[in-house]
């Protein structure tokens, strides 16, 4: 008995020296403890979710197996440790199979301490022993589907092998059928700790992300900005490209970009790299006020990129408004203002927009200089018909400004094709001077050009090229 007691104490001390507190905890009131066993996964291990679309996830860590044990007084000479085996993702059938294998290992090494052998087997060989290979299929919606599978087949797993035609899968099924035919009862030492109502996939991915972060925090990285080596816990890793920079440098970089409104430019500083920092990473490095600005500008930037979203033109409101395709009417859901999406004035139905010529010309130039994608976006936002109309109207205005003048009485655009500088409005029939746009007398319109005090004295034919046969015009021809 004293030899058993000494062997037990030596084994427990050895486990405490090999594994940290997260992996091994010794019981306070008895000779025993609990070990969290992290299974070693092969490289490029994947988890597959089968549904309408096949989705794969790279996984480096799966939730550990829990081995709870208590050492009898006559261990290791006569008795095996009393234990339970628990898991969040294995089936009871799989864990029962592992429990039986642990019993076999003790029988093969009877009289010797066995805990370290059990640990090595579970960590390094459990997956191969159970025939579990990558990729693994997660039953979507976990609880009900997994429960039905386990009811129909006691060998079913929450994670099952994907690839029905692989040799390994066939071998696994044969072993499962063989084991089922032997009708092994479920081992009471196999404990399921998975919540049957919870979806398994998020639990697996969250655990994997947590363990990846822990592994990252313990490594040393060199920052490419300040060139100082720091622990991963003081660094930021961009998700897409895996480039690493220290948090101090990235905090300053993010603060400058957010204050300048460049929320879409929080990308990896590596030249030509397009990876973008996630909102959760930004939130870790900036204060609440700056993050609120980042969040607001990011939302606004996203809305600006949507062709069917415009903003209420009232400065006191500026609410995002959804508009129908090919419609120029927007109705603000907050202030109920109905406006034209093109000119931003009150909605005017089919009447022409009262857009300043400069703004209309800018819209036309932006459209004509845009790429095919940009043109399509503008057509979706304003409507193809509206864009076409704006371009045509802008060109018409430019032509009118260059070739016409407005009647000084009614404003009708008048083009001077030929003839003298005494003009007659085609709309109101008013006589006026083409040079100074002054109104002319209906009784004697030429007196304006014959009066020495007039600015247009002797300029009736100013700017006119006279042919010999067209040297004179009558009032009727005018």
| SS3 assignment, position 265 | helix
CA distance 86 to 191: 5
pLDDT digits (tens, 9 = 90+) for 156-185: 444 444 433 345 545 555 555 455 444 567
Query: Is 286 within the bounds of a domain?
Result: yes
**Residue ranges making up the domain that contains 282:** 218-304
Q: Are 159 and 137 in contact (CB under 8 A)?
A: yes
Query: Is 209 within the bounds of a domain?
Result: no
- Annotated catalytic residue within 162, 268, 420, 456: 420
CA distance 322 to 85: 56
Check which CATH number belongs to the domain holding 178 and give it: 3.10.110.10
β partners of residue 413: 406
Q: What is the mean pLDDT of the chain?
A: 78
Concerning whether 404 is annotated as a catalytic residue, the answer is no
Check which CATH number belongs to the domain holding 236 and give it: 3.30.40.10
Compute the radius of gyration of the chain from its Cα atoms: 42
Query: Is 160 within the bounds of a domain?
Result: yes
Instruction: State whether 89 and 224 are in the same domain.
Output: no
The rounded percent of the chain whose pLDDT value lies above 70 is 75
Instruction: State whether 376 and 429 are in the same domain.
Output: no
Question: Could you say which of 198, 233, 268 is where a domain stops?
Answer: 198
Give the DSSP H or E segment for 368.
helix 357-369
Query: Is 410 within the bounds of a domain?
Result: no
Instruction: State whether 167 and 136 are in the same domain.
Output: yes
Cβ contacts of 331-339, under 8 Å, gap ≥ 24: 337/312, 337/313, 339/312, 339/313
Kindly tell me if the per-residue pLDDT of 74 is higher than 80: yes
Instruction: State whether 120 and 145 are in the same domain.
Output: yes
Question: Could you say which of 304, 336, 365 is where a domain stops?
Answer: 304
Instruction: State whether 444 and 392 are in the same domain.
Output: no
pLDDT band of residue 397 (cuts 50, 70, 90) is: low
pLDDT digits (tens, 9 = 90+) for 178-213: 554 445 678 889 888 876 666 778 888 888 888 888
Question: Could you say which of 304, 321, 345 is where a domain stops?
Answer: 304
Total domain count, the chain:
4
Q: What is the DSSP letter of 239?
A: T
pLDDT digits (tens, 9 = 90+) for 238-295: 988 999 999 999 999 999 888 888 877 788 988 888 888 888 888 889 898 888 888 8
- Please tell me the predicted confidence (pLDDT) of residue 69: 94
CA distance 141 to 198: 8
Q: Are 290 and 259 in contact (CB under 8 A)?
A: yes
- Please tell me the predicted confidence (pLDDT) of residue 470: 46
Instruction: State whether 188 and 329 are in the same domain.
Output: no
pLDDT digits (tens, 9 = 90+) for 212-241: 888 899 899 999 899 999 999 999 999 889
């Amino acid at each position: 008995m004293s030899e058993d007691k000494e062997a037990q104490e030596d084994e427990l001390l050895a486990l405490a020296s090999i594994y940290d507190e997260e992996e091994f905890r010794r019981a306070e009131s008895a000779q025993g403890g609990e070990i969290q066993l992290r299974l070693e996964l092969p490289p490029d291990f994947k988890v597959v979710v089968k549904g309408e679309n096949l989705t794969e996830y790279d996984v480096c860590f799966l939730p550990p197996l829990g081995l709870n044990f208590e050492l009898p007084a006559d261990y290791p000479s006569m008795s095996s440790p009393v234990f339970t085996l628990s898991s969040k993702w294995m089936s009871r059938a799989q864990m029962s199979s592992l429990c039986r294998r642990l019993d076999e290992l003790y029988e093969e090494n009877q009289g010797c301490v066995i805990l370290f052998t059990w640990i090595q087997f579970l960590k390094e060989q459990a997956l191969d022993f159970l025939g579990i290979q990558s990729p693994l299929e997660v039953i979507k919606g976990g609880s009900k589907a997994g429960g039905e599978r386990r009811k129909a087949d006691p060998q079913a797993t929450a994670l099952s092998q994907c690839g029905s035609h692989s040799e390994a899968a066939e071998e696994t099924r044969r072993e499962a059928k063989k084991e089922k035919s032997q009708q092994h009862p479920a081992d009471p030492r196999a404990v399921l700790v998975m919540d049957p109502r919870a979806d398994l996939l998020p639990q697996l991915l969250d655990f994997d992300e947590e363990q990846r972060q822990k592994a990252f925090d313990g490594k040393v990285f060199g920052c490419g900005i300040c060139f100082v080596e720091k622990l991963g816990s003081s660094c930021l890793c961009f998700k897409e490209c895996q480039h690493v920079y220290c948090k101090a440098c990235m905090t300053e970089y993010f603060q400058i970009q957010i204050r300048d409104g460049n929320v879409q430019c929080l990308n990896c500083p590596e030249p030509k790299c397009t990876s973008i920092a996630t909102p959760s990473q930004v939130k870790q490095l900036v204060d609440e006020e700056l993050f609120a600005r980042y969040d607001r500008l990011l939302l606004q930037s996203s809305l600006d990129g949507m062709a069917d979203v415009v903003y209420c033109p009232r400065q006191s409101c500026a609410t995002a408004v959804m508009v129908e395709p090919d419609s120029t009417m927007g109705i603000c859901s907050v202030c109920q203002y109905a406006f034209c999406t093109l000119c931003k004035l009150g909605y005017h139905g089919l009447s022409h927009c009262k857009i300043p010529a400069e703004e209309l010309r800018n819209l036309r130039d932006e459209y004509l200089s845009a790429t095919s994608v940009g043109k399509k976006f503008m057509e979706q936002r304003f409507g193809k018909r509206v864009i076409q109309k704006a371009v045509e109207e802008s060109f018409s205005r430019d032509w009118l400004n260059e070739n016409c003048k407005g009647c000084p009485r009614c404003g009708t655009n008048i083009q001077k094709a030929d003839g003298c500088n005494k003009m007659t409005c085609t709309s109101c029939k008013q006589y006026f001077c083409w040079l100074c746009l002054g109104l002319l007398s209906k009784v004697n319109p030429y007196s304006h050009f014959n009066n020495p005090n007039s600015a247009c004295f002797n300029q009736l034919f100013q700017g006119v090229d006279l042919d010999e046969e067209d040297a004179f015009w009558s009032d009727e021809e005018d």
